[in-house]
Chain A
Amino acid sequence: MNNLLRNRQVEFRLLVVLALLCAGLSLATDTFLTMANITSLLNNNSVNLIWAVGLLVVLIAGGIDISFAVASSVVQYAAAKFLIGIGGGNWILGFIVCGIVGIGLGLINAGLIHKFRIISIVVTIATFNAFFGLLMFFSGGRSIYSLPDWWSDRVILFEHQAVDGTWSELTLPFAVMVVCVLLTWILIRRTNVGRQLYAFGDNPEGARRAGVNIAAMQALAFGWCGMMAGIAGLMQVNIVQEVVPNALYGRELEVLAAVVLGGARLGGGRGTVTGCVLGVMFVAVTQNGLNLLGISPFAFQMIIGAAILVAISTSNISFSSLGRIRMEGSK
């Protein structure tokens, strides 16, 4: 237990802060702690969470990805064109097509990083621009509204009507998000391949000497992130029922912030699915709370920025002092 607290300090702290935040909001507003609000919070953040776990894997492996949100847009557009082209398709085909296109885009990043030994931030800023430029060029900036019914129809998994008549429901994106989060957890925590990702992010030279296949790790990290981007793209269409080429542009920083807030280290080797989910939920609840309290959305950006600074600096302080205490105690 003691160990759990020590090794999961960031997560624990974030959980406490999130709990306090929720408690505060439930007292300050009478809309926050309603089933309708909570479920819509979960539905609306499904896409962010799917992205977040994809990005988490890249961060653990010591990389960074700026291009995933735009990649989702590319996937949406390509999948819509293709599926409409073959006469509509269905959910299974949708998952396959989006997954494959997403993985393909991720592998482009991995290939460039590995082959030309360019750092990932440079590569993904480049592909971010390239993906977006190509998408705008081919789509001419036009949105697609007439989508196959299976894609744009809401799939409700759970619904409930409160006494005052408001409906609350959980939809397909929520369930898909849960599956993505679980799969990512299994990958990074429960498989040998995932542990090699951590090792590679932590000490690339050490991992190489131990025989870890570096190219495969890069491909896995960015391929996984790409697959999540593909699935997130598929789900986002299901939520908004249209494909707008520039709709996701700019969402990447918010997700990156949330993942870093959740304890993933820029530089690799550290980060957990729990922390990642808490990070996204913290950002979501903050935004939701400010909304309910009627505070300017710009305050949100400042608060998130400040929270990241606090999270990063305090975690460093406590880690090093912890190290010193243990050293003294260990003699």
Chain B
Amino acid sequence: MPESGGAERHALRLKAVSKTFGGVKALDGVDFEVLEGEVHCLAGENGCGKSTLIKIVTGVYKPESAGLIELFGERLDGITPVQARDRGVSVIWQDLALFANMSVAENIAFDAMVGLRPRGVDYRGMKKRAGATLERLGVTLDLDAALSTLPIAQRQVVAIARSLMNDARLIFMDEPTASLTQSETDRLLDIVRRLSADGVAIVFVSHRLAEVLEIARRVTVVRDGRLVGVYPTEGMTQARLGELMTGHMLEDSVAARDMSSAPAVFEANRLGRPGEFENIDLVIRRGEVVGLCGLLGAGRTELAHAMMGMSEPATGEMRLHGDVYRPTSIRAAIAHGMAYVSEDRLSLGLLQKQSIVDNASISVLDRLLDGLGLISNGKKLGLIRGWVEKLGIKIGLPDDAISTLSGGNQQKVVLAKWLATEPKVLILDSPTVGVDVGARAGLFRIVRELAEQGLAILLISDEVTEALYNSDRVLHMVQGRIAGEYDPSTTSVQALEEAIYE
């Protein structure tokens, strides 16, 4: 390929890269190019092969065939993770790939430790360097704390800091903003811009298309392991990008209905828990979708925990179908018909080594018994097939380990697991983090259907558009209190955004 005067040099060039897992063609002859200093987005549906592409460039997987792999003009025939890093490649992994029992500092500085040539460990220097990198990110974390004691958003920050440690020239960011708050995301995007201005190439993967269009110069779209095309983001719209990714048009529109005459399923009266939330009055009616917006730390997740019996409210009361409801454990809550798709999706509540079927059916085993009281494999498979189809989960075989699924598809399995319990009240806590646009539309179509069948749904969301387009009513929570209620059919996205991020 002739270069235009040599001004724009390639950080990475891939030609005709293919990779197959068992029967699944994860990548099929994909070309991919990134220029130095460019922010390049890699977009596509869940399971289209984005993470696989990253793993090939970093030597974690060997491709079946590759016409060309070239890093900074150097042609490579096989590459190992260490070689990739030595050439200035670093990665923020989708599943973070951090070490739970190690300290924050050690996690951030870990890559310097790799290699078999024995060296001493300089803990003080390590802390200093880790601290300096966190400072660049504008975050303070306790450097000595074990990673496992950190909430998920802070772990994400640790993973970001780690990728910045060794003066990388090409950084892959696989859904780095999935569990970040708005302000943290803004800060990350600022850093991405700064790095790019310094000549660092960045490959950015995200399912938040607004973010993609804001940050990237070009976007490469992949569908089902095949290259769709490379497009400049200038002039691109979210709708058009979604269409390229999924192959069909997606439409978003307000679908709110007036549910005020339906009977209440869940009620909370003056519910409070010191330091978390207070004076919460909340009604969710039969067939209603109630959106719950607010900044991270506003107490939304804590409220959900109380509803699920994971913590005990100190004041007020909850009612289910009019009866006093005081769950003492998650199990009790589930028995009452409550279900909770939690926001902590990197641990996911999934058993990584177990099969997809077993994971999806774990919460309903008692309903899958055959005549002898044994778990019926047939019923189990039937259950899975149904949900795989409805949610559009991309899997190989139901018996494959859950760890073989792409990140977004693992999340859909979590959803399937909860929907299989046939709940009366469903709490969705940021259900679309890491889920692609097509699947989001599919997910909300299902949420609609479930609501129509009479399910009462609480939708906790960080994305204003999502809450507005898919709820019948939107509540806004600020510092543990419900600060306002909005009717989606008369409220604009902008108005609600202003209220939240003022």
Contacts and interface: CB of A to CB of B under 8 A. Distances in A.
Interface of A: 3, 6-7, 189-196, 198-199, 202-203, 205-213, 216, 265, 269-270, 319, 322-323, 326-328, 330-331
Contact of A198 (B101, B112, B142): B101
A193 B148 CA distance: 22
10 contacts: A3-B145, A192-B115, A192-B118, A203-B99, A209-B55, A209-B93, A211-B59, A213-B116, A265-B101, A269-B102
A330 B146 CA distance: 14
A191 B114 contact: no
A191 B120 CA distance: 4
Which residue, of B106, B120, B145, B275, has the highest number of chain A Cβ atoms within 10 A? B145
A192 B81 contact: no
Contact of B98 (A192, A206, A328): A206
Contact of B58 (A193, A209, A319): A209
Interface string B402-413: 000000000000
Interface residues of B, number: 43
B102 A198 contact: yes
Given A192-B115, A211-B80, A206 B99 contact: yes
B101 A326 contact: no
A144 B357 CA distance: 58
Contacts of B119: 191-192
A198 B111 CA distance: 13
Interface string B131-171: 00000000000101110111100100000000000000000
Q: Which 10 A-B pairs have the closest CB atoms?
A: A211-B81, A206-B97, A211-B82, A331-B297, A269-B101, A3-B144, A192-B113, A202-B99, A192-B119, A270-B101
B100 interface: yes
A191 B154 contact: no
B325 interface: no
B362 interface: no
Interface in B88-103: 91, 93, 96-103
Per DSSP, chain A at the interface is helix
B121 interface: yes
Contact of B97 (A6, A196, A209, A326): A209
Contacts of A330: 150-151, 154
B146 A210 contact: no
Given A327-B150, A328-B275, 10 more contacts: A192-B112, A195-B102, A195-B121, A209-B81, A211-B59, A211-B82, A213-B116, A319-B149, A323-B149, A331-B297
A208 B119 CA distance: 20
Contact of B100 (A202, A205, A212, A327): A202
A324 B99 CA distance: 19
Nearest to B141: A330
Nearest to A220: B116
Nearest to B55: A209
B99 A269 contact: yes
A191 B116 contact: no
B60 interface: yes
Contacts of B59: 211
Given A209-B81, A326-B145, A216 B97 contact: no
Contact of B114 (A198, A202, A212): A212
A199 B121 contact: no
A111 B121 CA distance: 28
Nearest to B152: A327
A202 B101 contact: yes
Interface of B: 55, 58-60, 80-82, 85, 91, 93, 96-103, 106, 110-116, 118-121, 142, 144-146, 148-151, 154, 275-276, 296-297
Nearest to B99: A202
A7 B82 CA distance: 30
From B114, B118, B148, B276, name the one whose CB has the most chain A CB atoms within 10 angstroms: B114
A193 B99 contact: no
A196 B99 CA distance: 10
A270 B81 CA distance: 25
A330 B153 CA distance: 11
A331 B116 CA distance: 40
Contacts of B85: 211
B113 A196 contact: yes
A263 B80 CA distance: 35
A3 B142 CA distance: 9
Given A190-B121, A195-B106, A216 B116 contact: yes
A124 to B, nearest CB: 20
Given A192-B121, A210-B110, A199 B144 contact: no
Contacts of A3: 142, 144-145
Contact of A202 (B102, B111, B121): B102
A209 B102 CA distance: 17
B60 A208 contact: yes
Contacts of B151: 327, 330
Contacts of B276: 328
B377 to A, nearest CB: 25
A269 B82 CA distance: 22
Contacts of B82: 211
Contacts of B60: 208-209
Contact of B110 (A6, A199, A327): A199
Contacts of B114: 192, 196, 210-212
A88 to B, nearest CB: 35
A91 to B, nearest CB: 26
Given A3-B145, A198-B102, A330-B151, A210 B116 contact: no
B149 A326 contact: yes
A208 B121 CA distance: 20
B274 to A, nearest CB: 10
A206 B97 CA distance: 4
A190 B98 CA distance: 20
A190 B120 contact: yes
A6 B102 CA distance: 13
B400 to A, nearest CB: 16
A193 to B, nearest CB: 5
Contacts of A192: 112-115, 118-121
B97 A205 contact: yes
Contacts of A319: 148-149
Contacts of A7: 103, 144, 146
A56 to B, nearest CB: 14
A120 to B, nearest CB: 15
Nearest to A195: B113
B245 to A, nearest CB: 26
A208 B91 CA distance: 13
Nearest to A269: B101
Contacts of A191: 118-121
Nearest to B126: A195
Nearest to A328: B275
B157 to A, nearest CB: 11
Contacts of A208: 60, 81
A289 B264 CA distance: 66
